[in-house]
Structure 1
Amino acid sequence: MNPALDDAIRQRGKAFFASIRGESPSIFNKGFWTGKVMDWAMQNEAFKVQLFRFVDVLPYLTTSGNLSRHIEEYFTGGEAGDIPAVLKWGAEKSGMFGGVAAKLMGKAIRSNIEGMARQFIVGEQTKEAVKNLSKIRKDGFAFTVDLLGEATVSEIESDAYRDGYLEVLDAIAAEQASWKPFGAATDGLDWGSAPKVNASIKPSALFSQARPMDFEGSVEGILARLRPVYRKIVAMGGALCIDMEQLKYKDITIELFKRLRSEPEFRDYPYLSIVLQAYLRDTEHDAAALIAWGRAEGLPFGIRLVKGAYWDYETVIAKQMGWPVPVWTRKPESDIAHEKIARLILENSDLVYFQCASHNLRTISNVMETAAQLGVPENRYEFQALYGMAEPVRKGLLKVAGRVRLYCPYGELLPGMAYLVRRLLENTANESFLRLSFADGEAEDILLENPQKTLERELAKAPAKATAAPASPASLDGLTAFRDEPLADFTVEALRKAFPEAIAAVRAKAGRELPLWIGGKAVATADRIPTVNPADPTEVLAQVCQAGTAEVDAAIAAAEAAFAAWRDKTPRERAEVLLKAAAIARRDIVALSAAQVLEVGKQWDQAYNDVGEAIDFLEYYAREAVRLGTPRRMGREPGEKNHLFYEGKGVAAVIAPWNFPLAISVGMTAAAIVTGNTVVYKPSGLASLVGHGLVDIFKEAGLPDGVFNFCPGRGSVMGDHLVAHPKVSTIAFTGSMETGLRIQEKAAKVHPGQAYCKKVIAEMGGKNAIIVDDDADLDEAILGVVYSAFGFQGQKCSACSRVIVVDSIYDKFITRLTEACASLKIGPAEDPENAMGPVVDASQQAKVRQYLAIAHQEGKVLVERQASGQGYYAPLVVVAGIRPEHRLAQEEVFGPILAVMKAESFDQAIAWAMSTPFALTGGVYSRSPRHLEKARKEFRVGNLYLNRNCVGAMVGRQPFGGSRMSGVGSKAGGPDYLLQFVDPRVVTENTIRRGFTPIDEDDEWFD
């Protein structure tokens, strides 16, 4: 940076500090309850976490008993660490008396926190909001009004969000004539540049089905509700700013902004702005691209530049998903980016009206001095601050710049609390400018330092941590730690474009013959079955040759012949083949996904993540095999050596399902192969095209002939024969409970020539429940239940088929759930706008319809979405009034039917959840620490998910599998899964020779 400019920025900043010296934002004022609690939170991280979580749940605590219980849960015990006396006393009294004292203290705490929330909200009702907006203008500040609530779970809620804006704009319209414009301008504009009425809007709330995968549908869905809001604003002579939210909506937001700005109706109206977030690494590029677009189109517009409010969220989500971290990881980097982007905008001030949104005096000073250096007219930029958040800064700005707009949220307290928590987290963070300047008393010279120098100083103290890249196939000379394959990221335009192309490529090969693969050779048979697209059963994707008993015998013979040589390969040699297979699947991930979209009706993201899980199994089991493959010394006594090691059993029959056609097929097959077994693989007849993909993958990976044999066939013809064959030592099965029990029964019988007691590894069904507690976050619970119940048409063994709701929150939950289900789009999975598609075949369709009839008999059907079309579309059903004794509470449907149960208490909810023979997955949405701990102990299922959906287990992170009638054996994707495919052996050697015993440093000679 220019030294003269940097010096001017520092001098400007010092003058600012001088003008506000001795003042402090109200949140840091220790003379009030809020200030005391915030001060304590900044000194005690554990207490801060508990406090902010408590603030978040507070609106749901509608009874004194519930409030007192949560105060005790959050602020006693070790979770909160040391707590301030005012809260400690309340927590102790709530437990000690449970009476008048507890109620009074609870009421006081609620009142103080709600008061804190209202400090940052301009009003809960429209009349109150307009009154306060008028007061703000009397104080010399402009405003932008923002309706709270960005999480809409249904189109009814999106309509309500739109209508909320229309209502407040009508109220403002009645008042704005009495507002005098700021400055000396006579054109009715504030400062001669900005309309008096200004609104900010969160686009995702205008379309509940917005998601990156359906980019075009999301843009148009949002625009449909945004147009009438903007039309009213234009008629009022106002301005609109489109807020930027999470990264997943960034490109959607930019595109809808461009379309709205360039529509013929609005082209001649310049007062439309968009928010850009400096903490995103791509924002400088986005700003430059927007400016270039505006120049090319001849369309002036505005940019509000913020640092960004979702840093923690974006960082955590990226790490969980395996994506590159999209934000700058050090605060000075965001400050540097803000200054660079601010300069770019100011250099284009003839086109772009700049709105600098920051409480950071260095950032503000930079904008003022850069504008002066560039000769930017004062009416081409303004400053913005959050209402109720940084009073001294905004007052100082008003004195110096005279052009200050307050960002004014208004609306109900419930979404207001979420807004409050985000603001408090942002401003009490260790690196927050407000905290450093007003609470921690950091030196002015440090606070006004050029952020480039700050970054250099930080890097000198602690070099930046390298961001871990997604795992790639590793050299066997030194295996890297396992990392899951990144999940589908449809914010990437190239991935969105790749899917239609890959689907077209699958169609281009439609109708081809798929032979068996036995002993390294293709084997055609006369018996063939078409595999079809369930969205259009007339579309034949392939003709699949079917194995009879003769082909099964041939495949087993080929596998037996290959066994000894394959067993005797080193674990590393076998693992190397799996890593090569993983690399091939990774290269072809979209093509493999496209086959699932057409053959079994999986949505794009579901199909992509299924292939990703297959890659994970290959990578994970390769590493596990190397770990297990090292013989283990047992005992330490001198004079003998004992080594435990594992070896493959022989021929494994792998019987795979259609619902995770690649992931589960690969998982069971890879586990058998890498441990030294050979495989006869029977895919589901409904997913044989996907199953045939294993032939190509293992062939290219260099797997020896006979180790893997592809044998699709009719279960009625060859299923029992394969299971009962005396040369089969292991059976790995995933499917229904009925079939799994039959396999176990058949495998238990010993046949002539059989050398093994057959090992059966079976993952079977589930009747999975999600419990919604009385304090649950319904925004999250509704979306989690809907996704768990209806993702891939409810055809997952882990799908939620029962939701058990505690009585006091039941009505709210039911209303929002039914509205959310009514908003889902149903149609072919190849169209990304559809959240639900057809079930897999006619028998599944008939089964769902059968259970729909049962639903009408046993309960009250709240939702019955009958999709039309020639595909195997089954009704989406939500049925209430179900009790544990009903069939819908006990029997696995494996389709889009959700039973809703109303429990009197959390204890009853857990008892009902455990009232079935199954124990696969379960979920709990609760913000009660005590109830979450109770669920950990008493909700005994294989995979329990707290405050998230109950599907989508990740290899190595959430090993998957259940107990009771949900399965036998260990968890797939876990550290002991491979042990089921091997025989342990121990070799003992006597090392004494005529009294001489070699000394080994591991021997235990003396106690």
Structure 2
Amino acid sequence: MTTTMLPQTTHPNLEKAAQLAAKLQPLRHLLGGHWAESEGGERFDSVNPHDASVLTSAPSGTAGDIDRAARAAHDAFQIWRNVSGAERRRLLHRIADGIEARADEIALLESLDTGQAIRFMKSAATRGAENFRFFADRAPSAGDGQSLPAPGFINYTLRQPIGPVGVITPWNTPFMLSTWKIAPALAAGCTVVHKPAEWSPVTATLLAEIMQSVFEEAGLPGGIVNLVHGYGESAGKALTEHPLIQAVAFVGETTTGSHIMRQGADTLKRVHFELGGKNPVVVFDDADLDKALDAVVFMIYSLNGERCTSSSRVLIQSGIYDEFTARIAERARNMRVGHPLDPATEVGPLIHPRHTGKVTSYFDSARDEGATIAAGGEARGGNYVSPTLFTGARADMRIAQEEIFGPVLTAISFTDEAEALAIANGVRYGLAAYLWTNDLTRAHRFAQQVEAGMVWVNSENVRHLPTPFGGVKNSGIGRDGGDHSFEFYMETKNIAISLGTHKTARLGVGEGQPTRDSVDKKLAE
């Protein structure tokens, strides 16, 4: 593999970010409304993926820290659960206001902490605020149920918050994904213990500061939202096993999700998982190929390819395979790889040396299995990796089966719809799928048969917040979005009210004793 110098920039964003980084204090936990050090006193560094410089440090949470957070969440739940939906709506909108007020700070620090290009992180605060506003407006109706009349009864249902919940978020777009989980939990009336990823902990503190400030101003107790930094093996494990935590919402890698399910089994913890993906984008020869090209390139190389919904397998009909892959390769070679704070940058550094090593290991795997590296396939120094395209791939290759989670695309040829469907479904994942065709009948038929929780036809991933978000197979359990989020954070209760007209069988009255029917008949005579 060849290496080049690390990308540099002199853009004003760098000066602003440097000033913010210089002001960063060592991170702390938020436990019951108080900023605290870890019980054990141990800390770990948060490192800039661009140059491995230390941004700040965070406390390494212990089981004791998790216990303090869970107990605080449990105590606060007794009050927060009874706060009206209208008041929760007001407070969540205040949180959204606070997020928007610190939008530039959030974007710059998120880019520094994750290596994501600033062109994408500029929307981090906007999307986070949108999540809070969306669920804020649903808070007043979160507990609504149904009227289910039956002979002799009026049945009605209502929903009630499940209790304190654990939220474990990933390192790729941590701020937005944290709001995506925490906002519906708060709108439902739950309290939260948040454990962010140890590779990108910085903006979790900004979010916690904003939320805690709003709750303090409202005179509410500490503990509605708690923040515990730390490693998955210690803080994460303690959170998933804690008996006061009623549910765990996790976004991350599939293997970690299976560990969490095992860890929560003894306490019968409810789980919601958004896990890995090896998402196909299927391009038929009748598609609008210009638009399809834009979407294919965007969905694999934006966000450094570190996104669960990336279209990391492109399935191309054989008659257009050579031409279409050549166009992708040209785009990949022209991709602007650079400093994440430069607005011109399209691909920044990957999050961590360990992850960079994993991604680049697939370059040798591709060669060994007989694929061609049509673009990229190079480490560029530090955590920088060239946008890569593998061609001539088969569906059974590692590069076609395993989640690489980087700017790496695998191109596979197919002859007809049946083969395309078999290849698309021939992996253990099933998060998203993308389909490009102008045949309306085929579009519906294929979309209904492909094994994925979400399908976009003639489009990249365009989110609509009321729609369900989640995967099948090894890509997850449960759905986010709209009312689907409340199904996880709330329990449904049925209440049956008798109208006094039904008859209850009488037991223990002795043989020959009058039954209720005989008494009623006698009275009628």
Q: Does TM, normalized by the shorter one, top 0.5?
A: yes
2:272 counterpart residue number: 761
Letter in 2 for 1:713: G
Using CA pairs under 8 Å that are at least 6 residues apart, name the structure with larger relative contact order, 1 or 2: 2
CA contact (8 A) 1:848 1:875 kept: no
2:148 counterpart residue number: 634
Letter in 1 for 2:367: H
Q: 1:856 to 1:931 in 2, by over 3 A?
A: same
Letter in 2 for 1:964: K
1:969 counterpart residue number: 478
CA contact (8 A) 2:89 2:140 kept: yes
SS of equivalent residue, structure 2 residue 481: coil
1:709 aligns with 2:226: yes
2:468 to 951, 959, 964: 959
1:811 to 296, 315, 322: 322
Cα displacement (A) at 1:501 = 6.8
Cα distance between partner residues in 2 of 1:711 and 1:600 = 19
Cα distance between partner residues in 1 of 2:271 and 2:418 = 36
1:660 counterpart residue number: 173
Letter in 2 for 1:596: E
Deviations 1:492-545 (A, max 9, x none): xxxx98x567534423324x211111000010232111112101112x222112
SS of equivalent residue, structure 1 residue 803: strand
Cα distance between partner residues in 2 of 1:962 and 1:941 = 6
2:86 counterpart residue number: 572
Q: 1:867 to 1:826 in 2, by over 3 A?
A: farther
1:609 aligns with 2:123: yes
1:742 counterpart residue number: 259
2:20 to 506, 519, 525: 506
Cα displacement (A) at 1:637 = 5.5
1:533 aligns with 2:48: yes
1:718 to 235, 238, 249: 235
CA contact (8 A) 2:380 2:386 kept: no
2:437 counterpart residue number: 926
Letter in 2 for 1:963: V
1:868 to 344, 359, 380: 380
Instruction: List structure 1 segments (4+ residues) > 6 angstroms apart after TM superposition.
Output: none
1:688 to 187, 192, 201: 201
CA contact (8 A) 1:616 1:955 kept: no
Cα distance between partner residues in 2 of 1:857 and 1:662 = 38
Instruction: Name which of structure 1's ranges 980-989 and 800-809 shifts more when overlaid on structure 2.
Output: 980-989
CA contact (8 A) 1:597 1:603 kept: yes
2:211 counterpart residue number: 698
1:556 counterpart residue number: 70
- The 5-angstrom pairing of residues 419-430 of structure 1 reads none
SS of equivalent residue, structure 1 residue 537: coil
Cα distance between partner residues in 2 of 1:888 and 1:717 = 32
CA contact (8 A) 2:74 2:191 kept: yes
Deviations 1:972-998 (A, max 9, x none): 2232221111111123334659xxxxx
Deviations 1:213-250 (A, max 9, x none): xxx99xxxxxxxxxxxxxxxxxxxxxxxxxxxxxxxxx
2:56 counterpart residue number: 542
Q: 1:631 to 1:801 in 2, by over 3 A?
A: closer
**Larger radius of gyration, structure 1 or 2?**
1
- When normalised by structure 1's length, the TM-score is 0.47
| Structure 2 residue ranges without an equivalent (≥5) | 1-8, 502-525
1:587 counterpart residue number: 101
Identity level (%): 28
Cα distance between partner residues in 1 of 2:272 and 2:145 = 25
Cα distance between partner residues in 2 of 1:989 and 1:929 = 50
1:833 counterpart residue number: 344
SS of equivalent residue, structure 1 residue 716: helix
Cα distance between partner residues in 2 of 1:952 and 1:658 = 21
2:35 to 505, 518, 522: 522
1:913 counterpart residue number: 424
Letter in 2 for 1:743: I
- The 5-angstrom pairing of residues 659-678 of structure 1 reads 659-678=172-191
CA contact (8 A) 1:613 1:954 kept: no
- The 5-angstrom pairing of residues 436-451 of structure 1 reads none
Cα distance between partner residues in 2 of 1:616 and 1:727 = 30
Q: How many residues align?
A: 487
SS of equivalent residue, structure 1 residue 800: coil
1:942 aligns with 2:456: no
Letter in 2 for 1:673: L
SS of equivalent residue, structure 2 residue 393: coil
Letter in 2 for 1:691: A
In terms of fraction of residues, the more helix-rich structure is: 1
| Structure 1 residue ranges without an equivalent (≥5) | 1-215, 218-495, 751-756, 994-1007
Letter in 1 for 2:184: A
Cα distance between partner residues in 1 of 2:465 and 2:132 = 10
CA contact (8 A) 1:563 1:677 kept: yes
Letter in 1 for 2:89: A
CA contact (8 A) 1:648 1:676 kept: yes
SS of equivalent residue, structure 2 residue 411: strand
Letter in 2 for 1:863: A
Letter in 1 for 2:141: R
1:790 to 298, 301, 307: 301
SS of equivalent residue, structure 2 residue 173: coil
Letter in 2 for 1:707: I
Letter in 2 for 1:559: A
Cα distance between partner residues in 2 of 1:862 and 1:665 = 37
1:623 to 100, 123, 137: 137
1:902 aligns with 2:419: no
Deviations 1:422-481 (A, max 9, x none): xxxxxxxxxxxxxxxxxxxxxxxxxxxxxxxxxxxxxxxxxxxxxxxxxxxxxxxxxxxx
Cα distance between partner residues in 1 of 2:497 and 2:280 = 53
Give the aligned CA root-mean-square deviation in angstroms. 2.3
Cα displacement (A) at 1:875 = 3.7
